[in-house]
Amino acid sequence: MTDFGAPGQTTAPHELPALRRALLEWFDASGRELPWRAGPEGGRDPYRVWVAEILLQQTQVARGLGYYERFLDAFPDVHALAAAPEAEVLKAWEGCGYYARARNLRRAAQIVAAQGFPGSSEGWLALPGVGPYTAAAISSLAHGEAKAVNDGNVRRVLSRLSAQPAPTERWVQARADALLDPARPGAWNEALMDLGATVCTPRAPRCGLCPLAAFCAARASGDPAAYPAPKVRAAVQERRAVALLIGDAQEAVLERRTGRLLGGLMGLPAEEVGAGESPRQALERLCARLHVQAGPLLGQVVHTMTHRRIVLEVVRGHALPAARLSAQPVAKAALSRLDQKALALVAQRQDSLFVL
C-alpha cells in the first residue's frame, strides 16, 4: 500500500499509473449514466454540463435529474435561457432551492449568448455564479482541459487515500492536481466524484467494491469512515414569521420576495417576527400594511435551509375596503418550498380560534 499524498510525501511516479488505471477502468465499467454526460470526452455540450453543475451544487443527483430535465425542456439552449424573463427561469427552477443560482445562471447566459461559450476555466470563472469547482468541471468535461475538481466527494476520497483526518481546501486541491490524469481529465474528475457518491460514501464505505482499496491508507487503518473527521457545523438559526393567506390554494394574494435567499420569488405576504416581538405584533404590522383583517390561524409550517430553520404561522386574511390587493393563480408563480407548504395548509384548515 502506498500513502498517496500524505503530508510531506508525494506519490511515487511508478505507482501513479496503476492508481489512475484502476479508477478509470472501474469508471468505464461502473460510472453513472447521466444525461449531461452524452458525447465524447472533452467534447460535451457545455450548456448541458453547465446547467447540471449549477443545479447539483446543493442538490443530490437522484433528486436533481427530474429538475434538470424540466429545466432543459423549458430552456433547451443558452439563447432560450438568455431571452427568458427572470420569473420564468425561477418557475422552472422551483423546488431546487438556492434561487440565486438560477438568477446568476440567467445573467451568465445573457453574457454567453452575446460573446460565446468560454474556452477555458478562467473564462468560465469570470461568469456570474461560477466558482473554481464549476469552472474546473465544465472546462474538463466540455473542453478536455486538465483541471482537477474539488468537491465533497473528492475531498472524502482523497482524505481516505491518505488517512488525512482534517484535509484543508488547499491540501485537497493540491492532491487532486497531483493525481489528475492529463490524458482523460474529464473522466478522471467524474470517476472520483462517482466513487465518492456510490462507493466511498460518508458513513458506510463499501471498501470491498472500491478499485482503490489497495492504495487506501484509511482502509488499512481499519476505520475508513473516520476519515475525514466531521466538520464542525454552524448552529442552525431559527427565524419566526407570520404570513397571510388571502384567497385560497388556487388563487391568492402574492408578493415578490426580496433578499439573497428567496429574492425574486413570489410568496404569501409575510412579516418576520423581530427580536423581543411577539407573533401577534408582527401580524398586526402586516395587517396594517396591507389593510387586511386577520382571521383564524390555519397552522404552522417549518422549513429548514442549511443553517436556517423558519417557523411560519399562516393566518387567514380578509381584505378591508381600503385594500388594493388582487389574487393571482399560484400555479403560474415561482414559489419557494416554504410557501408551497403554507398554501397546502388551506386543504387541511381547522376552524380554530386565532391564538398566537
Q: What is the largest CA-CA distance in the chain?
A: 82
Q: Is the backbone peptide bond immediately before 13 cis, with ω within 30 degrees of 0? A: no
- For 269, list phi and psi in degrees, rounded to 5: -55, 130
Contact 6, 164 (CB under 8 A): yes
Phi and psi at residue 243, to the nearest 5°: -135, 155
What cell was used for 172?
A: 485537497
Please, are residues 190 and 146 in contact by the beta-carbon 8 Å criterion?
Answer: no
Task: Give the cell for residue 264.
Answer: 425574486
What is the identity of the amino acid at 31?
G
Indicate the helix (H) or strand (E) that contains 111. helix 100-115
CA distance 225 to 310: 32
Write down the catalytic residue from 41, 53, 238, 271. Answer: 53
- 277 belongs to the catalytic site: no
Residues 314, 342: contact at Cβ < 8 Å?
Answer: yes
Residues assigned a catalytic role: 53
